[in-house]
């Protein structure tokens, strides 16, 4: 798996843990191991600009995804050939606020947002209740399995 991380913020991040989670999530979702993914960490100003440009909504958000659109993902088949999945942008300062509200560490929120972004790249959405249940169920399964794998290591 070729995952590139670009940290455009002043926030220190556990980039290796994010890379480990991304690799784990993509393996969990049966994405070919030679596929490519970009993860960019941005400040609130940059995220607000993305949010306005692409969603026509004001204010910064936590995570946004831009799929390459060059593949069709099917859960029962995975992605058997290497693809460029696309890019994810995460705002660490928004993640930190959400982590405080949720009562967990910022890195755990960043891992959740990374997983969430990956699922969006694969075509999952949560606009409708049924879609929400499926996407958030898979997201929870990935994170619980990842944390369990870390505990064993």
For the question of whether the overall pTM of this predicted structure is more than 0.85, the answer is yes
pLDDT band, very low/low/confident/very high, at 97 (cuts 50, 70, 90):
very high
- Three-state SS letters, 5-50: EEECCCCCCCHHHHHHHHHHHHHHCCECCCCEEEEEECCHHHHHHH
- For residue 113, pLDDT over 80 is answered with yes
Nearest to 120 by CA among 83, 80, 79, 69: 69
pLDDT average, residue stretch 1-11: 93
Instruction: Place 153 in a pLDDT band, splitting at 50, 70 and 90.
Output: confident
Task: Classify residue 15 as exposed, middle or buried by CB count within 10 Å of its CB (0-12, 13-18, 19+).
Answer: middle
> Average pLDDT in the 138-142 region?
98
* pLDDT the model gives residue 76: 85
**What confidence category does residue 75 fall into, taking pLDDT thresholds of 50, 70 and 90?**
confident
Domains within the chain, CATH numbers bracketed: 2-152 (3.40.390.30)
Q: List C-alpha distances in Å: 152 to 23, 87, 121, 145.
A: 17, 30, 29, 11
CA distance 58 to 111: 24
Q: How many Cβ atoms sit within 10 Å of the Cβ of residue 79?
A: 19
Which tens digit of pLDDT belongs to each residue from 34-73?
999 999 999 999 999 999 999 999 999 999 999 998 888 9
């Amino acid at each position: 798996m070729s995952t590139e991380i670009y940290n455009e913020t002043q926030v220190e991040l556990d980039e290796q843990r994010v890379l480990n989670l991304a690799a784990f999530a993509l393996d969990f979702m049966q994405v070919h191991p030679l596929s490519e993914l970009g993860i960019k960490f941005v400040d609130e100003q940059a995220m607000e600009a993305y949010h306005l440009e692409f969603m026509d909504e004001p204010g910064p958000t936590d995570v946004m995804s831009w799929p390459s659109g060059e593949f069709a993902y099917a859960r029962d088949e995975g992605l058997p050939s290497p693809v460029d999945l696309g890019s994810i942008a995460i705002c660490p300062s928004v993640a930190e606020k959400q982590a405080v509200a949720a009562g967990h560490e910022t890195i755990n929120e960043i891992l959740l947002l990374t997983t969430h972004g990956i699922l969006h790249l694969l075509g999952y959405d949560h606009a409708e209740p049924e879609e929400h249940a499926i996407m958030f169920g898979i997201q929870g399964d990935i994170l619980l399995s990842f944390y369990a794998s870390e505990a064993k290591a």
